[in-house]
Structure 1
Amino acid sequence: MNLSRRKTLALIGGGTILAATSGVGWEITRPLATALRPWDRAGQYDDPRMRALSWAILAPNSHNMQPWKVDLSTPDQAVLYPDLERMLPETDPFNRQITVSLGCFLELMRMAALQDGLAVDADLFPEGSDAAGLDARPVAICRFRATTAPTDPLFAHTPIRRSNKEAFDISRPVPPQVLARIAGAARHTEVGFSADPAEVADIVSLTSRAMEIEIDTPRTFGESVDLFRIGRREVEANPDGLEFHGPAFEAMRLFGLFTRDAARDPGSTAFAQGKAAVLDPIATAMAHIWQVTADNSRKTQIDAGRDWLRLNLAATAEGVGYHPLSQGLQEYPEMARIYADLHARLAPGGGTVQNLTRLGYGPDIGPTPRWPLEAKILDA
């Protein structure tokens, strides 16, 4: 997790611990190696399908679960399956967010294939789907064919695309024309946005409350804590989930001050400080952007993911930080009131809000760990 120095120092109560760890400096300052290698290897494959997929695995996805598996056994074809071991049953009980993540994957694969003069025709849910949840049936059969279609200019921003969870500069508004250009990148969904201070404040209130509900509900927060990767060794061993690495977190790990048990204990300092560190940036929103769809079918969720990726890349092109705030859109009982309030505000004419994102100008952050592509290919 790319936390600012201010936040990490708050978590460890100043510099005392770091000063006390001079004897283990090598251990706490070692950078990540293999966990970030997929970002460097993107596009470095002979098979054009593998080249496209090596970019697709860098797509944004819920809780960094990377919920995709691909079968390449048929020439000129890639069959996408959901990885059913990477679902989020507490916070995403119907797998809507996971399906949206798979849409992000498909759109980035399509963009990458165009770089090689290839179109990707995706036959979505060829064996059907279930609104109650994903299952072992394929999400898409993707067929690669030659094309003279132009490349997508948004693709160029893929290497620096991020989900920026840091605080934004509250002295720097996002101009309306910038918001309009970002929104204009969508092709499949209705996009709304606002930088009006009163409306931004109202949405901040709702999204902050949604985050509090998720953290204060033991079963939903526990789902996140189980996915914590604390320290370089854990991140390298499992380059998914919610990573916490860097000198401050290594020091806390070595001294036993940041553990999963402490993080999930509402009475602990780690819980209180961690909650504040997550909530504080939400209040620095300078604008919000959201996506609405007329229905909530699986194919529509895929389309929402395609546009999610496009909006994220468009924001990157503008130098604008993009921080999805999906908590209030989750379909579990404790979130029902916030879900209804957000839908009443953002989709007054009906439909489903598929994405709500905080925008602003923030610091540069690094990439998120990924499993290597080979780990995602069936029978590889």
Structure 2
Amino acid sequence: MPDLSRRKTLALIGGGTVFAASAASAAFLTTRTPHAALAPWEAAGTYADPRLRALSWGLLAPNPHNRQPWEAELRGEDMIAIWRDPARDLPVTDPFARQLTIGMGCFLELTRMAAAQEWLAAETMLFPEGEDGPVAVMTLAPGGTPDPLFAHALERRSHKEAFEARPLGPEAAALDAIAAIHRDGPVLEGLRDAAADAWVTEINTPDAYKESIDLFRIGRAEIEANPDGIDLGGPMFDALKLSGLFSREIAMDVDHPGVKGATEATIEAIYAASAMVTIVTEGNGRADQIEAGRRWLRLNLAATGAGLALRPVSQALQEYPEVAPYYAEVHRLAAPQGGTVQMLGLLGYGTRTARTPRWSLETRLRS
């Protein structure tokens, strides 16, 4: 997934001045926050119906390219049917919807945890009508037990900035029960190489790269209109867009200095992170993918609680021909006894990422 943080955009403007100092430019700079797109973070848990309260937390879950593929339908007085919207598919980089299904697992787990916070158990049936029906049907009933990890739900992020180059401290030990943490040695180095090479391959594979570029939301207006995809917000991106220094067309030019800078910055992040993490499942069915999503969500929350930053690097696990060698290499390194590596990520220390935009709960409900 292309990653353009504030630091990386400096390459795009070549160190030049975007705005002259003036009252008008100062006003512009202070009105670039997409408040409506961030409102769901404040609305979490504020609904009257306990099912809606749980769902309002669930939609804050991490998901591929921030596609937010979930839809929910309230049934009766205590049931929720949860669907994956195929209109949000990623047909080039995720042709079998494996990663999107993992995202649904993240959503289901955070929804379950939110219900448990109110002492409600969420009995969940996966794919009760086959793959053409809902991903899950949840029935809420008394008997849930609050999960300590839920305390980190509002602070949880998928990291996007640089990492500090320092080894993991003892606080990371709590994560070992959730995922494999590769702290040093040849497996770590091999995973780093595969992740970096796959990232460069995606940048140089036009169809795969364009799938991400098409999901860029550049500046506040685009983010408010479509609060999903890859948000590039804040005063700098708004200024670059208005001045013509940044656009989707520029981002597609792999020889542009800014694109090269962003590519190198992501490679730097891969090698600077303290460790890499993998989540492996025995099989690769839909239930396995859902379970991988549950575990990734819990890993993300646990990392947040430990003061660590977690960032997925999905390119080496995508399933289109150009990255097949890296997919095979990650499996050789991280699953030598068999199984499917469902998630690969970077773990370390870094500055906190801002909240990412979300569609409101009302737009995710089926009538």
Structure 2 distance, partners of 1:251, 1:236, is 17
Q: Secondary structure at the match of 1:121?
A: strand
Letter in 2 for 1:122: T
> How many correspondences in the alignment?
365
Cα offset for 1:265?
Answer: 2.0
Give the superposed CA RMSD.
1.7
**Which shows bigger deviation, 194-203 or 116-125?**
194-203
Corresponding residue of 2:199:
211
Corresponding residue of 2:139:
143
Q: Secondary structure at the match of 2:244?
A: coil
| 2:171 counterpart of 1:178 | yes
Letter in 1 for 2:134: P
Structure 2 distance, partners of 1:290, 1:138, is 28
Cα offset for 1:205?
Answer: 1.3
Q: Secondary structure at the match of 1:6?
A: coil
Structure 2 distance, partners of 1:317, 1:78, is 29
Query: Alpha carbons of 1:79 and 1:363: their partners in 2 closer, same or farther (altered >3 Å)?
Result: same
Corresponding residue of 2:220:
232
Letter in 1 for 2:160: K
Q: TM-score, normalised by structure 1?
A: 0.92
Deviation track 1:119-168 (CA, whole Å, cap 9, x = no partner) reads 00111011123xxxxxx411011111111x42100000000000112111
Corresponding residue of 1:50:
52
Corresponding residue of 2:279:
291
Corresponding residue of 1:133:
none
Query: Alpha carbons of 1:202 and 1:19: their partners in 2 closer, same or farther (altered >3 Å)?
Result: farther
Structure 2 distance, partners of 1:69, 1:315, is 27
Structure 1 distance, partners of 2:104, 2:39, is 21
| 2:244 counterpart of 1:248 | no
Q: Does the CA-based 8 Å contact 1:2-1:365 persist in structure 2?
A: no
Q: TM-score, normalised by structure 2?
A: 0.95
Give ranges in structure 1 of 5+ residues lacking alignment.
Answer: 130-135
Q: Does the CA-based 8 Å contact 2:203-2:254 persist in structure 1?
A: no
Cα offset for 1:202?
Answer: 2.6
Corresponding residue of 2:125:
123
Match of 2:262 among 255, 265, 274: 274
Q: Secondary structure at the match of 1:169?
A: coil
Cα offset for 1:23?
Answer: 4.2
Q: Secondary structure at the match of 2:276?
A: strand
Cα offset for 1:180?
Answer: 2.9
Letter in 2 for 1:33: H
Structure 2 distance, partners of 1:351, 1:202, is 18
Q: Does the CA-based 8 Å contact 1:18-1:248 persist in structure 2?
A: no
Q: Does the CA-based 8 Å contact 1:12-1:248 persist in structure 2?
A: no
Letter in 1 for 2:96: F
Cα offset for 1:174?
Answer: 0.6
Corresponding residue of 2:249:
261
Match of 2:61 among 40, 59, 63: 59
Corresponding residue of 1:37:
39
Structure 2 distance, partners of 1:165, 1:114, is 30
Equivalences for residues 89-108 of structure 1 within 5 A = 89-108=91-110
Cα offset for 1:261?
Answer: 1.0
The structure 1 segments of at least 4 consecutive aligned residues displaced by more than 4 Å after TM superposition are 1-5, 20-23
Q: Secondary structure at the match of 1:206?
A: helix
Structure 1 distance, partners of 2:249, 2:340, is 36
| 2:153 counterpart of 1:158 | yes
Query: Alpha carbons of 1:325 and 1:21: their partners in 2 closer, same or farther (altered >3 Å)?
Result: farther
Corresponding residue of 1:364:
352
| 2:348 counterpart of 1:352 | no
Corresponding residue of 2:81:
79
Corresponding residue of 1:132:
none
Cα offset for 1:278?
Answer: 3.0
Q: Does the CA-based 8 Å contact 2:9-2:258 persist in structure 1?
A: no
Aligned sequence identity (%) = 49
| 2:125 counterpart of 1:169 | no
Give ranges in structure 2 of 5+ residues lacking alignment.
Answer: none
Cα offset for 1:257?
Answer: 1.1
Query: Alpha carbons of 1:216 and 1:29: their partners in 2 closer, same or farther (altered >3 Å)?
Result: farther
Q: Does the CA-based 8 Å contact 2:220-2:233 persist in structure 1?
A: yes
Letter in 2 for 1:344: R
**Which shows bigger deviation, 264-273 or 199-208?**
264-273
Structure 1 distance, partners of 2:16, 2:117, is 48
